[in-house]
């Protein structure tokens, strides 16, 4: 029933190990930083130009356009050209086709009733570079799910199934649970330089701050939090004007941004000068250590500050970042009326004082043969604004009241984004093992990852396999298992009396949603 659907929107471990969006420097010339765990088996890249300069006219890398400092699915560009050779240095056309299917097994559910989803994607881009100082780029994305209903009024999957299958965390504005096709603009920007010393990028673009792999609390320029287990980051870009001033001799960089979208992703328009957000970031290199500091402020939101560091220590690559803030990304709730119906049992707790969030992690790579390596990594995340237990989850899943809403309002008037998977608890931990091209399997990559919400003691483990076939075709598959405390974020099972959700209905009727057990998936990816 629809009430049951509203109660269980959990995005528990649904896709392969997450990929970071490219930094602004990777798009415009700075040599890319070390890839995140999922970025295994990258294709060789041409030497990058000086920091801050636009890259030489060439076909953009898949990692450059579709998320990640490198992608395990990146394929060499096709030999054929879509434009005349005389125009090859001026205009490039390309894209990506991503077909996938995912199934969810829940406790005591027969195979015939397992949830099924097929959220397919098509990305198309145009890249114009009339000379080495000007570049214009546009990328459009279309989503189509043949397993979903034709209209948005009758979703084919429950909220739990949509969440667990990866709909609810990083769709970036593309409607979930709707057949489509639905289109959205991902990027639309122009890049140019001023006297070859100052580099300007204006328009809808991706700019990532911070160094975290699984969690990234200082990623202030993306209003939607990244799903750390998503094989493909579907968040769309943010509209801004970015100014980059590099100090090439020292390898230092300074950035300024004017943000034309709302920093929190709400619908409040930025239609007056006072609503334009302002921020900046500096990066300093001291030997083998790189330090970063950033800040962002916008009318209607409290200022946000962040610091990060990364360094090589012996054979380890270590990193840390901290969000220094006096605000929270979403309203938080506390039980104020024990025993009351669920929808009015909790009261909103506004942030008070300093509420930091921090991430620390590292990775280690070792050769086990002349040509083969294995990489191990781990990360810990702390959020002072997170929940210590799972008791509030049913209330959040039912839809906490909107900021200006009435706690007793009908469910249709309640906030469906109150439950934010991967960013609910105070303490998280993650670990991964990356095995690219083992032995004679030169076109194969294996990744094992485990994430846990230490606050509610629920976990998910996932094995991913990627095979490069027929030069341009990437075949992906995965299996993920949930375990730990029932009712926790990654093993969410709910048993709630119907009267708790809708006061006045019979109290002897219980809404029961079984927890997830295993999720399976397969995908085909082609770079166009």
Per-residue pLDDT band for 317 (boundaries 50, 70, 90) equals: very high
User: Any residues with CB less than 8 A from the CB of 171 and at least 6 apart, and which?
Assistant: 143, 234
What are the tens digits of pLDDT across the range 110-144?
999 999 999 999 999 999 999 999 999 999 999 99
Cα–Cα distance, 458 to 478 (Å, whole number): 20
What is the rounded radius of gyration, in angstroms, for the C-alpha atoms of the chain? 23
What integer pLDDT is reported at residue 437 of this predicted model? Answer: 92
| Residue range 13-25: mean pLDDT, rounded | 39
What are the tens digits of pLDDT across the range 195-240?
999 999 999 999 999 999 999 999 999 988 888 887 778 889 999 9
Please state, in angstroms and as integers, the Cα–Cα distance from residue 265 to each residue in 172, 341, 387, following that order: 10, 30, 22
Q: Is the pLDDT of residue 406 over 60?
A: no
| Residue range 55-72: mean pLDDT, rounded | 40
DSSP 382-434: EETTSBSSSTTHHHHHHHEEPTTS-TTS-GGGEETTS--TTSSBSEEEEEEEE
Cα–Cα distance, 77 to 444 (Å, whole number): 19
Q: Is the pLDDT of residue 10 over 60?
A: no
User: Any residues with CB less than 8 A from the CB of 235 and at least 6 apart, and which?
Assistant: 21, 67, 170, 172, 222, 224, 226
Please state, in angstroms and as integers, the Cα–Cα distance from residue 491 to each residue in 10, 157, 485, following that order: 9, 18, 7
Cα–Cα distance, 87 to 133 (Å, whole number): 17
H or E segment to which residue 335 belongs: strand 332-335
What are the tens digits of pLDDT across the range 358-383?
999 999 999 998 889 999 999 999 99
Q: What is the sign, positive or negative, of the torsion defined by CA atoms of 38, 28, 473, 164?
A: positive
What integer pLDDT is reported at residue 473 of this predicted model? Answer: 93
What integer pLDDT is reported at residue 88 of this predicted model? Answer: 52
What integer pLDDT is reported at residue 490 of this predicted model? Answer: 93
- All structural domains of the chain, each given as residue ranges with its CATH number in brackets, are 2-78+87-527 (2.40.160.10)
Model pTM? 0.78
Per-residue pLDDT band for 397 (boundaries 50, 70, 90) equals: confident
| Residue range 170-174: mean pLDDT, rounded | 35
């Amino acid at each position: 029933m629809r009430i049951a659907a509203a109660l269980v929107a959990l995005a528990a471990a649904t896709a392969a190990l997450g990929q970071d969006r490219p930094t602004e420097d990777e798009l415009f010339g700075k040599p890319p930083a070390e890839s995140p765990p999922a970025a295994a088996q990258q294709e060789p890249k041409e030497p990058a130009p000086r920091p801050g300069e636009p890259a030489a006219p060439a076909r953009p890398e898949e990692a450059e356009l579709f998320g990640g400092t490198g992608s395990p699915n990146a394929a060499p560009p096709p030999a054929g050209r879509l434009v005349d050779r005389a125009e090859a240095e001026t205009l490039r056309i390309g894209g990506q086709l991503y077909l996938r299917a995912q199934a969810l097994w829940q406790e005591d559910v027969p195979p015939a009733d397992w949830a099924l989803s097929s959220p397919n994607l098509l990305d198309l881009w145009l890249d114009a570079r009339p000379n080495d100082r000007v570049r214009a780029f546009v990328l459009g994305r279309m989503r189509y799910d043949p397993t979903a209903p034709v209209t948005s009024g009758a979703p084919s999957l429950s909220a739990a199934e949509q969440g667990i299958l990866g709909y609810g965390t990083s769709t970036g504005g593309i409607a979930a649970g709707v057949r489509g096709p639905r289109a959205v603009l991902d990027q639309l920007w122009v890049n140019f330089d001023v006297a070859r010393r100052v580099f300007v990028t204006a328009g809808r673009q991706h700019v990532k701050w911070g160094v975290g792999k699984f969690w990234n609390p200082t990623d202030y320029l993306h209003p939607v939090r990244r799903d750390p287990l998503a094989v493909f980051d579907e968040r769309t870009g943010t509209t801004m004007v970015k100014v980059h001033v590099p100090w090439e001799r020292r390898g230092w960089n300074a950035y300024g941004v004017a943000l034309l979208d709302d920093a929190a992703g709400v619908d409040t328009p930025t239609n007056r000068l006072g609503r334009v957000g302002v921020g900046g970031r500096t990066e300093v290199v001291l030997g083998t250590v790189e330090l970063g500091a950033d800040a962002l402020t916008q009318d209607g939101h409290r200022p946000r500050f962040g610091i990060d560091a990364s360094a090589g220590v012996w054979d380890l690559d270590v990193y840390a970042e901290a969000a220094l803030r006096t605000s929270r990304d979403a309203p938080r709730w506390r039980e104020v009326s024990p025993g009351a119906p669920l929808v009015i049992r909790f009261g909103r707790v506004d942030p008070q004082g300093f509420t930091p969030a921090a991430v620390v992690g590292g990775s280690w790579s070792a050769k086990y043969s002349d040509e083969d390596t294995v990489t191990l990594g781990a990360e810990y995340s702390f959020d002072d604004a997170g929940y210590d237990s799972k008791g509030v989850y049913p209330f959040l899943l039912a839809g906490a009241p909107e900021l200006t809403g009435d706690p007793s309002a009908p469910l249709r008037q309640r906030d469906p984004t109150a439950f934010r998977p991967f960013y609910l608890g105070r303490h998280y931990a993650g670990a991964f093992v990356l095995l690219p091209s083992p032995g004679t399997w030169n076109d194969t990559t294996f990744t094992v990852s485990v994430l846990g919400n230490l606050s509610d003691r629920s976990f998910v483990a996932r094995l991913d396999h990627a095979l490069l076939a027929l030069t341009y075709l990437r075949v992906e598959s995965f299996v993920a298992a949930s375990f730990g405390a029932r009712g926790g974020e990654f093993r969410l099972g709910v048993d709630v009396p119907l009267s708790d959700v809708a006061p006045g209905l019979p109290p002897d009727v219980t809404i029961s949603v079984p927890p997830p057990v295993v999720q399976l998936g397969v995908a085909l990816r082609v770079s166009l």
